[in-house]
Each structure stands twice: as C-alpha cells, then as structure tokens.
Structure 1
C-alpha cells in the first residue's frame, strides 16, 4: 500500500527489461515496470481478559514485543494476517513476577523496567539495578548512566545507583523524552513543555500551551512536535518559539501520542493512527482492518521495520513487506481459490462474525454471473500471458458454472442469475424450482449479467488455445444473443415477460431522454454484444440487427452522446426516467467498461472503431477523479498513450490485502477537501487510497467515505483486483516482475 515506488518506461526500454507477454502495443503507450514496492498489512492481538488497561508497547533488538498494562507485562501470542492473536501474560522471566513493575521502556534496544524500588533490566547480564525513592513511579526515561523518574508529580534523577535530585512538580507529568546528544530530559504537562538539564539539575519552562497530550523530539533534538486535543504544534527548542500555526488539517485532531520512528513522524489519536508522508499527505490507519480499536494508546517501532500501534483493546502490528504486483496477484489467486469458489462461481464469503473467517459461509448473489464473468476474464488474461495449467483449470470450472446458468432453467438461451441446492430456505421471490429436484435457480436476470457474460465469453473465444473451451464460449455467446434476437431485444423470463433490467429494444431505450444514462448505456452495451456475437459466429443476423439499431434507431448517436451531458431528467420527463437519473449510477460504469471490450475490440470496421475510441476516452475523462484501476486499464485497450497508468498502479498497490468488509468511517477527517454535492456523487476533491476506504467492487462510488458491515463478509479479489491486473499484463502496460 504505502511508500510505493513505481517506474514508468517507454515500450522500447521495457523490451530490454523483460519479455513481452501481451499483444502488440503502440510504442507510445507507457509500461509499468513491476519492481517490488512495500505492501502493508496488519496482524492484530486482542485482550485475553476484561478490565485490563494497556499503557505502552516496546520491542527490543531481538524482535521481542512487550506491552505494559494494569495486569503487568503482556506479550503477543500466536496471531497472523487475518487470524488474530492474543496479548497474554509474559512469564518469560519468572523472577519478574515477584516485582511490582510500574513502567516499561527500551534503552539501547533492550528492555528496561522500573518497579517500586529500582530501575532494572535482564540485559547486560542483569547488572543494571538503580534504586530510587518513588514507590508509585509511573514513567521514566534515560540511559544506563542515569534515569529521570516521575510518579506524575514528583521527579527524581538517579545516576550510577545514586539519587542526585528530587523535586515535586506543580503539574501532572504526561510524557517524557531524553535527548542523548545534549543529555537533556524533556517533560510535558497539559500546559507546558519543560527541560531538565543533568548538568545543573534544574527545570526550565520552554513552551506554554493548552490541552497538551504528548510529544516527540525531531530534527536531531532541535524541535519538539507537541500533540494537543486539537492538532499539533512544532516548537523550535533552540529559540523556544512556535514554528508556524497549529496544524489541524489532519485525519483527526484529538492526539493521544506522538512518536518518531526513523525519519517518520507518527500520531496516535482517538480515531486511529496516521503518519505524515514526505509529500505532506497522510497514511491513515483506522478501523478493524488495521487496529483492534481506533483509540490509540501508544506507537512504537516493531520487529523487522513493522509499526506497533497499541490501542485500548489490543495491539495492531503493521507489517511492511516488499512484494511485486505479480506476488500480490499470487496471494489473491490463493485467496479466491481457498475461500471464494461456490459451485465454480466467484463468490463472497458472508455470514461472518467480527471478521472471523472460521465463521463464514459462501453466499449466492444476484450477480453471480457478473462477478464470475469478471474473474473468468481475469483468468483468461492470466492464461494468455502465462499459459498456466492452473489458470486453465480455473477457467474450466468457472465455465461449467456459467454454462449451468443456462441449462438449469427451461428457457432457451436465458441465463439464470444464480443457482443453489434445494432445501436451503430462500425468501427471495426470484427463486424458481429447477427440473432437477435437488436444485433451484434465480430468475429476473439483468443487463449487468448479460454484458458480463458476453465480455468473458468473448475473451475466452479470442485468447484461449483450448479448442473445446473456445467452442463452448462461442456457443454461449450465440445462445444468449439468439435469445435476445428471438425476443425482440429483451431478456424474457419464466413468466413470458421481459425482466426489469434486460431491455435493449428501441421502444424502451429511446423512450428515455438523451441526457438520461440508460439511453446511452443500453445502446452501447447491445452494440458491443451484437458485434461480439457476429465476430465469433459470423451470423449475419447479428450484424444486420446492429446496423439497424445504429442507423435506423439512432443507437450510434445514443452511445456517442457526451458523458458530460448525462444528468438528471427534466421536470417534465416520465417518472421512470426521473428515477433512473436521480444521481450517477456507478454500476453503469462497470457495465460500460466491461462492454467496451466488445465495442472496441470487435468493431465492424475501422471507422466505427475510431469513433468508439472517442466515446471510451470521453467516458474515461469523466471517471479520472475516481482513479479506478479497472477503468484506466480498460481504456488502455484503445491504444491511447494517456490512460493514467500511474493511477492504475497506485490503485493496485494501495488496495489492501485484507478484503474483509470492515466498517470504515472517514466523514470526521479534517485533512480532506470537501466539494459541493453533485450529480456524480463526488464528495471530496481527491479520492482516498483504497486501503482507507470500505471494500467495494467496481460498481461502487469510490468517493463514498463510510461503509462496511462490521466484518460480516470477505470479498473476493477475483473481480476486484485480478481483473485489472491480468488485463494490464495482457495488454502489456504492466510488465512481468523485474528484479530491481
């Protein structure tokens, strides 16, 4: 997700780096060289009991993690990505159980403790033992030579085993830091930042403020970044002056801790944690995708460059792993096969409890055919690039599921939405009894499924070298499109009536005003479908019908209508048109772009292909703010050099490995620029990264800031991620993995 370095090279340079693995490309199209980037994911550890207050977290040079709590020392047990572990009592050093441990720190990368009598450590052969006189000590800082301790108000400085200074402070000490370079201790209260010099053993007030909460030293100890309940301030410690204004344009302003880790500045808040990036923007970690809860208590550097984020409900370890897009694809291939295949369909794992994969069950969907079509297309592209036997077998199994959509009902050429074993109690009206007493099928199929089917069957027929699968794909294309022709450009259901959303007839399409999106999309989709059918069957009926629609019924004008003119229906329009145009329908985007494969790829002639390209790019221009990886890659099929490849790669790199539908909220964020309500439902100026948004398919609005189902489902990467990646590989705009 984060720190994503990517390189773009022209095709001529790319040929020198790796083998071409797609079709011929125009030399002006950019290519992403797939070198490793840093992918982050979270391993979470919850609390083993109730009533435990977590205070801070540290890690030593051995990669051991310890958490100090009201129940004593804790450590993470078990736990891996998507399978949470637990914070349990750390019994590693049994003698520590007899100590009344009051606080925990790391000194020279070793664990150091303070109890009611002394500062001590098990490192350095256990020789560090420095008595003090604050039995209720709560925090301390220092090095092996000396430590400053506080019980909240009293302070004591001990050095080489002796107490050299002790004084009562007027305010409660909230946070402490030690600057090794100047041998200076820094103390924070709710109203001030003070320094304590070990040379003259005096306290000095450096900054006065209000509602201060935590701080960290930066700039090699020359600056202090102080968190408050409303943002943060930067203090020049040399001049004791504030630098600039208080910073409040943040993911959240109620700051609970400030930490420097390497060159990065981290903030914990009551609504997650964030890091300031080098471009001034933020990497925001919130929701159960990343943390046990959003109330952050402490942040620390973890093993192998990970980040430890302690919350009131447990620990989130943000792991940073180098991987290529190809390696990410390998992970997602396994995710799909392990948990998301239902009768060959690409399905959602639902009915989960709090994100536990152990509790999930595969669920059917109205769009089983569509989600499976997109996954099927991804696997075809994968096979075309790699000739993988595994991909070919996945194609066979998905094809079997798709074929059964047509055979499980008695309607010639009519695809069911889904099917399931009889005996499961369905309340939905679309479910019908199949002839086979063991099965039911779902009716009311829509144009979403139809265009998805034609897309997948088309890429199968074009790109596979398995003659049996090619023939089966063409048969399915012909079967569906013959049904459409036989039924006057409608999908006709079991009751002899057109389905609500399966209508391409001019009487329906042209009844909508030009500015209503259904007129444009239905025209675009049906021409793409008829072109695909003609391309692979060579049946003149499909070509004849397509030109009749284009010329006689104005479908060419419909599909070329500028996207910028799509909007709400006029006040005098019919009610159905008004309903269709209340706001932009992002499911339409999915149908458009999936259909563009057949519209452009199988155009009847070069003149149409050139005009179709104009329409596709016009649509893409409207979609650019969403940075939708799939739409950018689909646009690349036209050969245009400008299709925002960098944003497509950003989408692929930033998409989280965790596809559980956690509840995510961003409405509270202060770092995003909101814009006026609009027809396209764009809510903010710049779209947030995918890993800071709810998990959604391509038919969702990427400007929706909130969403999720509290971890009740896990989505499949088959349609969400694998389709744009493998299409990009096939089109040659994403390279095979390259060693840097």
Structure 2
C-alpha cells in the first residue's frame, strides 16, 4: 500500500513554498576580561610534617610553621606539583621554637616559646612573653601583640609590662584585631570576647557552642563565626546574632574562616568554599584545587592569591584576569603539547597522580569523532582569524581523518582508529583490531554512527569555510567517499566482515523498527538527512538529494526528525528488548550527535521551507536541553539565527570551565547547598546545574548533572580541543562572541 504524502510536504520538497524572512538581531557577548581561577599545589611529607600555619609577605614569600620547624613551598607550577621543604633562608631560625607566623604590615612576624620577633624592621621587633606553650597571636596597633597558649592571654608591647588574663571557662582558638574599633576579638570554643588594649578590659559578648574559627567582615562590623555545623553572623553594633545559623552550605563542618579582599572564605573537613555576591557558594573540592580536602587554615597569599593549608600540603588558588580568547589560546597550547596523537585529538591516560610526564596518548573508539570536533574548532578559528597555525592544525588533523579511510581495505569505510601493530597486545578491545595492509599498523573496526556524523560535520565545515583549494577539494572527496559507501550499501556502514556495524545503520527497516517515542528513531533520521544534504550541497550529485527526499517522504524520516522532544521517553512494554535498552534514560551522546548534525541539517537544507522547519525542531531540542546550560548546544542553536539561545549560560560555561583538564576525583553529592530531585528519565540529579569548575571533567556527551567522580584520581587528562575550543570558536564564527574588547 502506497503511503500518503501530505500536500504540504510535497510542496516543501519542491521548494515551492517560501518561508518569510525577518531580520533578527542576535545578542553578542563582548569578550572583556573575567577572573579565571586555577590552583598550584605543594604536597608535604604527611608522615613527618604536621603543617600548622602559613602566611605570606609583601615580597611574595610564603612561610609554613610545622612540627618539623619552618618550611616553605618549592617549585610548584600549574599542573606540575611542588613540594614543601625546610626553610633555611635565615639559618639561625633553626634554633627558635617557632609556634606560629602571621603577616603584620605585610611582613613576617613569628611567635616562639618566649618571644614575638621579626627579621623585618632590621630585626628590632623582639618582644618577650611569659607563655612557653604559646601558639596563637595577633598584632594590633603600634607593635602590640596579644598572645595565647589556648588558656591564658597576654598583651605584650615594647618596653611595657605585659598584661595577662584569660577567658572565663573557655579556651582560646583564634584572635583578630579590628581596625574599626582598635580592639582584639577573641574566639573560644563557646564564646566570643573582646579585649581593649588601651583600658586592658576583657569582656565576653556572645555565647554559643562548637565554635571553630572566625574573622571580621564588612569592615569590622560583623564577626563571621564558623562552627562544626554551619556558620553564624554576630553584629558588632547591636551585639546580637544576625539571623539564623547558615547550614545550607557545601559542607557544614567548618575549620577555618577568613576574609580576603572583602571576600568571605570557609575551610572545611571536605574542601573549601567562598560566598558569592548572589548568596550562593563557589566550592573547591578535590585535587583539581587542593592537595588535601581537610582544610586547616586559609590565609591571604601573594599577588591576589589565596592559601589553603591542608592535611596533605599547601594549595595556592590564583585569580587572573583573562579574556575568552586568551583562554582559548591557553587551551590551544595545552592541546598541541599534550593531546595530538598522529593528528588525532587524544586523551592522556596512565598518569601517576596527575603527573603529566607519566601518561601516554591513548587510542579511542571515538578518535574520529573527538578529532572531528577539534578539527571543527580549528576550521572556525581559521575562518575568523586566518591564523596560519590554525590552518596547519587543520591539515594535520585532516591527514589523520583521511587515513582512517585508507588504512583499512573496505572502500569508503572509516576505521575507528589506527595504531602501531607492535603494541596491539596493549590495546583494549583487541578483538576489534584488524591488521592493515600497511606494514606495522592495525586499525579498529565496528565504526559507529557517532563517527560518521562527526566526519560529515567537519568535512562540510572545511569544504565551506577553509579558503584553501587543496583542503576544500579533499574535504568534498571525503564527504562523497563516506556517503557513497552508505548509499551504495542500502544505508548501512559495512565492516570488513561484510556485515553492518552495530550502530552504523540508517536503513528504514532499522530506524522505523523503534517505537516513535524512542530517541534513536528521531536521531538516526535527523543525522542521515543532514549527511545526505551535506553531500548534495558540495557534490551536486542527485543521488544524495533523491535519497534524502525518498527517506523523508516514503519512509517518514521528516516526521521522525520533527517529532517534539517532549515525546521522547521509554519504550512501551510491548517493544523489543533492544528498543527498551536504547531508551532506559536520556542519552547525552545522542545530544552530541544531534547538534553536530544540525550544522548540515540547517545550513545545507535542500530548500528554504525545509530550513524553516528544521529551525523549529532544533529550537525544540534546545528548549529540552536548557536546564543543562551546555555551552556547545546553546551556541550550536545560534546557527539558526534565533535571538534566544541562552548566550549568557554559554559564556558561563566557557568562563567557568577549569584550566586543569585532569580527571581528578570530585565530590558534590554530599553538599547541603544543592537541592536534589527524584531519579528521572533525563538523569537530572539537582534542580540547578553546578558550574563546570565544580563538576567532573567531561565531554559534551556527558551529563552536566553528574555530581561525582569517584574512580581513579589524576590518572588521565582530557583535551580541551572538543570540550571547549569547539563551542568557543563556533561562537566567534557565528558572531555571538566578539573578539577581545579593550578596557
């Protein structure tokens, strides 16, 4: 029985109906400098060194007091760990029993078992005290210091008799000097007190329980008190607690409170966090940021940095003004130095605890896909900048992509990857590796639809945008090569064994075997139409256009690809086991395939009417993705010309992404400042997605709502080539992200 073809669709295919065109002005992000954070870590000998306190001075030096004497951080750089070594700069300090160090007037001042002293001011600061077990002190006005051994308090001043007192029924934890009222504020485990050095009056002002640390905030008008179960605010003017205790925090067991440059920081038993202007928190957890998660102390560091003394060493968090383009060029250097394997965009594996020198670039089932996405980034970069290095990178990755087709014996069939045969025993999935006719090389079979759509996306972008006759010609040849193979083989990719690969299937008998609400039916229809349109656009071979129309009109592919995302879900009870398996939850790899395919679906549409309808389905998909705030999907949506595509969230993704691409262990599921939701089809875990800086490193086929990475710690490093550079340079090419704007 012949299928009914709607008159509208016939007209659409013929291009008789024209879509109305209106001028839409898209928003543009002006690329002004933003603050980029990154960490330098210094690891300590946790067996010998018990780190107690740290401080920095005006010269950029950092001192650490430990059970083994005075130490300092040594030879640390971003992604290259430093160590903590004995500080021998002042050799006679070895004779001093140093218990604490502070920065006073931007100079180091030390507390020993008998004196407060400094090497600055020509060594003239040398003030005796009578507390041999002293361990806490703070500097006031005119070189007066309040010292404590945890029980007693003593005010010491040059040439004056010390004052001694104590907290009634409490022990001293920390002391802060308030410039606003020229008084010392003292925190005990259950009290807050104030001491006036002029009148020598000590007074308790506030009672509580389980206090752990505090600092003075808002120009000395508020005392922020950390406890083992949240933090509270004490208003100094009203002498009362302001509001309820704060417990909706990343971690409530607080170990350190510090105000640095008017920003409030908290150290905890499980990482650190800072209070943002919007009342939410930036959370720093795992060795992406800290050498150890138990924070002992937070202090101001040199050059706008923050120091975190932890159970495993010292973390130094740096803040640097950077534009998105500067970030892109940083990532570009990172990719070229660490991630280019035979022209492929590769992951580094086998690392020893984040040591980049110990890893190797691994082959991947998706070498063709990840490289297509990096190649796309370099194509857009070249289209925008005409940078010769971008063009050379295109050539090198193009060579790798072309060799996927020549390294195996099947005409028009791309391998997943290739590698030297001498190491085949070390490769995973060894049953899929085949010997190449090229001596010393093997190639990987079972190529999937992920690869195919990635190839066509990159080849299409190159054929259109790279003004190099040789590369353009080669790109068109590769499009024709792959699509001829697929069309010739009845819409399958045929492997070396003469059989279709597991996923390389676009034949109607396969695609339409899925129930209408199973995503693969929509996805495969969308992808193959995009691929056929791309092939026709660049080759002008009628077989591609005819096949696209045939699939859309006779086999329902137009209806399939236009199906609203809200209808996609689990297969019904009477569906096949395969359909049920393929619809057990939202597939984020499918999202990646859709959006890469949208480049050819929309840009190379066979007529304007189809283009308008494609725009509808792309925006419908984007609406479903909006909660994830995925930078690439937001910017890909901009290719339709829509003025609504969540540009701010895309820029947020780009700005928040960490410079450190190592797969460190990350934990968020324990946080009390996030609102969890019940398990669902989309696999969304919390009401609002966390920034990329707080999430595990992942590619675009990952779920942005993944909270934890509990597996290996620092054993691999991902490439920014596909993860970051693609959405950024696509945004630049589409004009929704500007070139850097001068201040």
TM-score range, shorter chain: over 0.9
| Aligned equivalent of 2:3 | none
| Aligned equivalent of 2:370 | 371
Partner Cα distance (2:736, 2:284) in 1: 31
* Mapping 1:640-659, distance limit 5 Å: 640-659=642-661
Partner Cα distance (2:237, 2:196) in 1: 14
State the secondary structure of the residue aligned to 2:422: coil
1:302 corresponds to 2:301: yes
Partner Cα distance (1:163, 1:597) in 2: 80
Structure-2 change in CA distance of 1:26 and 1:452 (3 Å): farther
Partner Cα distance (1:114, 1:510) in 2: 78
1:517 corresponds to 2:515: no
| Aligned equivalent of 1:232 | 231
| Aligned equivalent of 1:731 | 734
Partner Cα distance (2:511, 2:541) in 1: 24
Q: Deviation string for 1:31-67 (max 9, x for gaps)?
A: 1111111111111111146231111211112221111
CA contact (8 A) 2:57 2:107 kept: yes
State the secondary structure of the residue aligned to 1:76: strand
Partner Cα distance (2:30, 2:324) in 1: 10
CA contact (8 A) 2:213 2:227 kept: yes
CA contact (8 A) 2:24 2:641 kept: no
Q: Deviation string for 1:633-679 (max 9, x for gaps)?
A: 10010000111111111111111110001111100111111122211
CA contact (8 A) 2:150 2:171 kept: yes
1:122 CA displacement:
1.0
1:249 CA displacement:
0.6
| Aligned equivalent of 1:392 | 391
| Aligned equivalent of 2:360 | 361
| Aligned equivalent of 2:135 | 138
State the secondary structure of the residue aligned to 2:172: coil
Partner Cα distance (1:392, 1:199) in 2: 71
State the secondary structure of the residue aligned to 2:372: helix
| Aligned equivalent of 2:670 | 668
CA contact (8 A) 2:129 2:162 kept: no
| Aligned equivalent of 1:573 | 575
| Aligned equivalent of 2:190 | 191
CA contact (8 A) 2:218 2:262 kept: no
CA contact (8 A) 2:46 2:312 kept: no
State the secondary structure of the residue aligned to 1:308: strand
State the secondary structure of the residue aligned to 1:268: strand
| Aligned equivalent of 2:6 | none
Q: 1:548 aligns with which of 550, 561, 564?
A: 550
* Mapping 1:253-332, distance limit 5 Å: 253-332=252-331
State the secondary structure of the residue aligned to 1:527: helix
* Mapping 1:102-113, distance limit 5 Å: 102-113=99-110
CA contact (8 A) 1:113 1:120 kept: yes
1:713 corresponds to 2:716: yes
Structure 1's unaligned 5+ residue stretches are: 1-23
State the secondary structure of the residue aligned to 2:698: coil
Partner Cα distance (1:614, 1:607) in 2: 11
| Aligned equivalent of 2:12 | none
| Aligned equivalent of 1:176 | 175
| Aligned equivalent of 2:484 | 482
Q: Report the more deviating stretch, 126-135 or 175-184.
A: 175-184
State the secondary structure of the residue aligned to 1:706: coil
CA contact (8 A) 1:25 1:639 kept: no
1:135 CA displacement:
1.0
1:168 CA displacement:
4.5
CA contact (8 A) 2:31 2:738 kept: yes
| Aligned equivalent of 2:15 | none
Q: Report the more deviating stretch, 273-282 or 55-64.
A: 55-64
Q: 2:562 aligns with which of 560, 563, 578?
A: 560
Q: Deviation string for 1:529-553 (max 9, x for gaps)?
A: 0000011111111111110000000
CA contact (8 A) 1:104 1:111 kept: yes
1:679 corresponds to 2:681: yes
* Mapping 1:57-136, distance limit 5 Å: 57-136=54-133
Partner Cα distance (2:670, 2:35) in 1: 28
Partner Cα distance (2:288, 2:522) in 1: 38
Q: 2:155 aligns with which of 137, 154, 157?
A: 157
CA contact (8 A) 2:24 2:642 kept: no
Partner Cα distance (1:125, 1:258) in 2: 32
Partner Cα distance (1:265, 1:299) in 2: 11
Partner Cα distance (1:502, 1:522) in 2: 9
Partner Cα distance (2:108, 2:321) in 1: 29
Q: 1:699 aligns with which of 687, 690, 701?
A: 701
CA contact (8 A) 2:272 2:283 kept: yes
Partner Cα distance (2:179, 2:581) in 1: 67
1:279 CA displacement:
0.9
1:160 CA displacement:
2.2
1:182 CA displacement:
2.2
Structure-2 change in CA distance of 1:168 and 1:281 (3 Å): closer
1:25 CA displacement:
12
CA contact (8 A) 1:139 1:149 kept: yes
1:427 CA displacement:
4.5
1:201 CA displacement:
2.1
Partner Cα distance (2:639, 2:59) in 1: 50
Partner Cα distance (2:31, 2:68) in 1: 47
State the secondary structure of the residue aligned to 1:102: strand
1:589 CA displacement:
0.3
1:497 CA displacement:
1.0
Structure-2 change in CA distance of 1:427 and 1:348 (3 Å): closer
CA contact (8 A) 1:134 1:151 kept: yes
Partner Cα distance (1:26, 1:315) in 2: 55
| Aligned equivalent of 2:222 | 223
State the secondary structure of the residue aligned to 2:153: strand
CA contact (8 A) 1:452 1:591 kept: yes
CA contact (8 A) 1:629 1:648 kept: yes
So what's the TM-score if we normalise by structure 1? 0.95
Q: Deviation string for 1:183-215 (max 9, x for gaps)?
A: 322221211111222233233221111111001
Q: Deviation string for 1:455-477 (max 9, x for gaps)?
A: 00000111111111111111111
Q: 1:445 aligns with which of 442, 447, 471?
A: 447
| Aligned equivalent of 1:3 | none
Partner Cα distance (1:95, 1:164) in 2: 27
Partner Cα distance (1:420, 1:115) in 2: 62
Partner Cα distance (2:544, 2:32) in 1: 45
| Aligned equivalent of 1:13 | none
CA contact (8 A) 1:369 1:452 kept: yes
1:39 corresponds to 2:36: yes
RMSD: 1.4
Structure-2 change in CA distance of 1:581 and 1:27 (3 Å): closer
Q: Deviation string for 1:562-620 (max 9, x for gaps)?
A: 00110111111111111010000000000000000000000000000000000000000
Q: Report the more deviating stretch, 103-112 or 365-374.
A: 103-112
So what's the TM-score if we normalise by structure 2? 0.95
| Aligned equivalent of 1:422 | 421
CA contact (8 A) 1:206 1:237 kept: no
Structure 2's unaligned 5+ residue stretches are: 1-20
Partner Cα distance (2:647, 2:166) in 1: 62
State the secondary structure of the residue aligned to 1:299: strand
| Aligned equivalent of 2:4 | none
Partner Cα distance (2:48, 2:188) in 1: 27
Q: How many residues align?
A: 717
1:100 CA displacement:
1.3
